[in-house]
Amino acid sequence: MFDMTCPHCKKEFYVVQKKEINELSEHIKKLECSLNELYKEVEYKESIINELNHSLENVIKEKNKLLKDNKHTSKRVTSYNTIKQYYIEGKSVREIVELTNLSQSCVENKILKLFETHDDINIDLDYFDLTEEIEKEIKLAILKVGTSRLRPIKNLVNSNITWSQIKLCIIVVKFEYLQ
């Protein structure tokens, strides 16, 4: 390659020989190949990074789920033992709800479970306001529809009778049947 000046207009221009053009062309081809290889490598690394991110997200989700399950299980056990202690101390359902921040139905179900599973816990019918009249009405419904499902019993009794009273009466019936 060399510089030349046009004799007429006095502008400079370059004269490139064919050999130089071929060399430049080869060099450009090599650069293109290198660039393509880099693109492929970048794409490959991006796919690996995406896979790793996806795997990491799954691991984090699983870890959070395990932590949540562990926390929930631990809370359940603690609240059950706590409710048992509060019941033994003579606290009402409303007081236990306030002390534990659990729902009323959750507290009632745990107390009913205590009645059902602990021989050292006396079943207190007054705790759920289960009067003799209510107990008789529930027992009549049980005779008609059985105890396998609660809804048919609830449909037959007075609407003021609670689910907990029905469940407590079923526990009483089971204990009476066993004795």
Are residue 143 and residue 167 in the same domain, yes or no?
Answer: yes
pLDDT on residue 138: 94
Residue 26 within any structural domain of the chain:
no
The CA distance from 175 to 170, in Å, is 9
Residue 46 within any structural domain of the chain:
no
End position of a domain, from candidates 122, 142, 157: 122
One pLDDT digit (tens) per residue for the chain, 179 residues: 556 666 777 777 566 666 767 777 788 888 888 888 888 888 888 888 888 777 778 778 887 777 766 555 555 555 778 888 999 999 999 999 988 888 899 999 999 998 888 877 888 888 888 899 999 999 999 999 998 999 999 999 999 999 999 999 999 888 887 76
Distance between alpha carbon 55 and the CA centroid of its chain, in Å? 19
End position of a domain, from candidates 100, 122, 144: 122
pLDDT on residue 139: 94
Residue 145 within any structural domain of the chain:
yes
pTM for this entry: 0.55
Residue 129 within any structural domain of the chain:
yes
- Which among 113, 128, 25 has a CA at the least distance from the CA of 76? 113
Are residue 134 and residue 171 in the same domain, yes or no?
Answer: yes
10 Å Cβ neighbour count for 102? 19
pLDDT on residue 2: 55
pLDDT on residue 18: 67
pLDDT on residue 16: 61
pLDDT on residue 69: 64
Count of structural domains within the chain:
2
Are residue 131 and residue 172 in the same domain, yes or no?
Answer: yes
End position of a domain, from candidates 122, 141, 167: 122
Are residue 149 and residue 112 in the same domain, yes or no?
Answer: no
Which tokens belong to 5? 């000046």
Residue 54 within any structural domain of the chain:
no
Range of the domain at 152: 124-179
Residue 179 within any structural domain of the chain:
yes
β-strand 2-5 against 12-15: which pairing, if any?
antiparallel
Residue 77 within any structural domain of the chain:
yes
Are residue 162 and residue 130 in the same domain, yes or no?
Answer: yes
Are residue 179 and residue 130 in the same domain, yes or no?
Answer: yes
Residue 178 within any structural domain of the chain:
yes
Phi-psi region of 119 (alpha: psi -120 to 50; beta: other; left: phi over 0): alpha
The CA distance from 163 to 80, in Å, is 20
pLDDT on residue 163: 94
